[in-house]
Amino acid sequence: MDKVSLITLALKVISDRLITILALSMSCGLACYTMWAGDWTRVATLGIFVVFSYLIVRNKEANHAKQQPQQEPYESQG
């Protein structure tokens, strides 16, 4: 594996994790804002945002899983 492909792989992994962490932290922040001053408009906004964040993260992780080759499960030596 050459250096360029290794760096490309590392950036893909970091971006996948970063998107997941960013979506979770934004959902948490919006949930705190909704609970601070509850209103049905804010609750609906939170629900829509969380659903779309989940779908984006799920789509990104599914694409990442398709790009990686299938690995054999670990078998113990013994």
Give average pLDDT by consecutive 10-residue segment, the chain, 78 residues: 78 77 88 88 91 86 71 58
What is the C-alpha separation between 48 and 31, in angstroms, rounded? 12
Mark 37-60 as b/e (b = at least 16 C-beta within 10 Å).
eeeeebeeebeebbeebeeebeee
| Confidence at residue 51, expressed as pLDDT on a 0 to 100 scale | 92
Predicted pLDDT of residue 48: 94
pLDDT at 32: 92
Task: In whole angstroms, give the CA distance from residue 69 to residue 78.
Answer: 27
Question: Which pTM was predicted?
Answer: 0.62
Looking at residue 64, its pLDDT comes to: 67
Alpha-carbon span 9 to 51, nearest angstrom: 28
Written as six digits, the tokens of 59 are 């789509």
